[in-house]
Amino acid sequence: MKVDLTGPLYSSLENATKEYKQAKAEGNAEKAKKKALECAKITKVLAEKVPSQKNAYLEKAEKWERMAGNVENSIRAQREGSSRSGKTGGRAESGSGNRTGGGRGGNGSGNGSSGGAEVEGEDELLAQAEALIEKSSVRWDDIGGLEEVKRLMKETIAIAGLQKPSSVKPWKGIMLFGPPGTGKTLLAAAAAGSLDADFFNVKADNVLSKYFGESSKLVSALYKAARNHAPSIVFIDEFDSISLSREGESSESSRRLLSTLLAELDGLQDKKSNRLMLTLAATNTPWDLDAAVLSRFPRRIMVPLPDKSACKEIIKIHIKDLDSSKLDLDKLASTCVEKFYAGRDLQNLCQQAMWNMIREENKDLDKLAELPYKELEKRKLNVTSLKFDYFEMAFEKIRSPLTKAQLAKYEKWNEEFGG
């Protein structure tokens, strides 16, 4: 005879959820983590017991696991949030712990569609926003050329950190625009890496599709997390995908996302703080940005294709521990400029050239793959100095998709709106 265990499971889940909330409100990270893991475990069992809700429960289990991993941050955010609350006006910081009786109310059994106990929305979004944090190891020196862009970004960072008269307001947002592969993401990563700041790396398109309907809440959570983690850099890639949808066939949810984002940016502008919180946005299609967006990003910096000397620097970065003394870098760089190569193309070119050299120097690479891995680790790859031939073969394979007309379009937009 089958025994229905779901009833007791629902109550265990509800109890564990209550205890989790309480432990979190008391700042007891260890207990809160234990309880979140317990909730994850129970939801997994529920997933087995209630096949019709299997996926929903598994998703919840995952969320609980994420929350367990994030308890410390969450408690810290809650503490910092409550010590600051009142100042921010607007959105309630809702010191999550005291939303007692939360969740779905009632006894949680019955229809059981989502399992009696609800995962706290705000906490969960904060946990998801915090999951976007990356630590960047990129440094300014990893970027070839782009001296002007680097100088401007460094100045912005310096002004944000220094003590200053209150009317001096550093830029809170910088828009990087330019053709694909020119180093926009790299610049954002270098800004974060050089400061050892928390780097929130957000692809606008992902946020829109993955958190559809909740994306604006995620953006609020993102900025809340970024405030708690300052110095922090919020990098919003593919910015045009939000801006675009605002006009054309914009959905309610993407419009809400954009207005929340713009409101967060306005909020930052008003705050006096020397804790750096910089929003960097990037786009390949700046002409798709509307006036509301542009006005929030008075600094719009073009990240262009590298000129000859930048090409040389970028190539050197990408072949740095190989001998290039026999290489005519000038000739190489001129060819790259003629071919409209971006930094990404240069990286690919160098990789391809190195491959050509490696194949030539290691004729039986494929046979070596049959050796046990331990044996492989003891051997060394043969390398020799790089020569132009290796690159010549590589030029064949790497083609820039850019045309003169497209490049002119960037220049024109830059003249009109950049700076």
CA dist 401 and 407 (Å) reads 11
- Least separation in angstroms between residue 274's CB and Mg ion is 29
284 is a site residue for ligand ATP (CB under 6 A): yes
Quick one: 39 or 143, whose CB is closer to ligand ATP?
143
Residues 288-327 within binding reach of ligand ATP (CB under 6 A): 303, 314, 317
Place of tokens 């260890």: 30
Identify the bridge partners of residue 95 per DSSP, sorted by sequence position.
none
Report which DSSP code applies to 278. Answer: E
Quick one: 182 or 194, whose CB is closer to ligand ATP?
182
- Least separation in angstroms between residue 205's CB and Mg ion is 12
Q: Per-residue contact track with ligand ATP, 69 to 108, x per CB under 6 A? A: ----------------------------------------
400 binds, among ligand ATP, Mg ion, none (CB under 5 to 8 A by kind): none
285 binds, among ligand ATP, Mg ion, none (CB under 5 to 8 A by kind): none
Quick one: 32 or 143, whose CB is closer to ligand ATP?
143
344 binds, among Mg ion, ligand ATP, none (CB under 5 to 8 A by kind): ligand ATP
Contacts of 127 (CB under 8 A, 6+ apart): 63, 66, 67, 70, 73, 74
Q: Exposure of 167 by Cβ count < 10 A (0-12 exposed, 13-18 middle, 19+ buried)?
A: exposed
407 is a site residue for ligand ATP (CB under 6 A): no
Residue of closest CB approach to ligand ATP:
343
Longest dimension (CA), the chain: 82
The pair of three-digit structure tokens given for residue 327, joined into one six-digit string: 């290489």
Q: Can you state the angle between helices 308-318 and 343-361, rounded to 10 degrees?
A: 50
Instruction: Convert 14-39 to b/e letters by CB count within 10 Å (16 or more is b).
Output: bbbbbbbbebbbeebbebbbbbbbbb
256: enclosing H helix or E strand: helix 252-270
- Least separation in angstroms between residue 348's CB and ligand ATP is 8
Residues 333-362 within binding reach of ligand ATP (CB under 6 A): 343-344, 347
Q: Per-residue contact track with ligand ATP, 163 to 182, x per CB under 6 A? A: -----------------xxx
Give the CA angle between residues 337, 400, 361 to the nearest 5°: 80
Quick one: 185 or 220, whose CB is closer to ligand ATP?
185
CA dist 127 and 221 (Å) reads 9
- 198-203: strand order across its sheet: 133-135, 198-203, 232-237, 277-283, 173-177, 299-302
Quick one: 235 or 390, whose CB is closer to ligand ATP?
235
Quick one: 81 or 144, whose CB is closer to ligand ATP?
144
Q: How many residues bind ligand ATP (CB under 6 A)?
A: 19
CB atoms within 10 A of CB 271: 13
- Least separation in angstroms between residue 144's CB and ligand ATP is 4
Give the CA angle between residues 117, 58, 225 to the nearest 5°: 70
Amino acid at 406: Q
CB atoms within 10 A of CB 151: 11
125 is a site residue for ligand ATP (CB under 6 A): no
302 binds, among ligand ATP, Mg ion, none (CB under 5 to 8 A by kind): none
Binding positions for Mg ion, rule: CB under 5 A: 184-185
193 is a site residue for ligand ATP (CB under 6 A): no
Residue of closest CB approach to Mg ion:
185
186 is a site residue for ligand ATP (CB under 6 A): yes
Q: Per-residue contact track with ligand ATP, 131 to 150, x per CB under 6 A? A: ------------xxxx----
CA dist 407 and 405 (Å) reads 5
CA dist 121 and 60 (Å) reads 12
Quick one: 184 or 312, whose CB is closer to Mg ion?
184
The single residue among 136, 185, 241, 356 that binds ligand ATP, judged by CB under 6 A, is 185
The single residue among 63, 184, 296, 300 that binds ligand ATP, judged by CB under 6 A, is 184
- Least separation in angstroms between residue 191's CB and ligand ATP is 12
Binding site for ligand ATP (CB under 6 A): 143-146, 180-186, 282, 284, 303, 314, 317, 343-344, 347
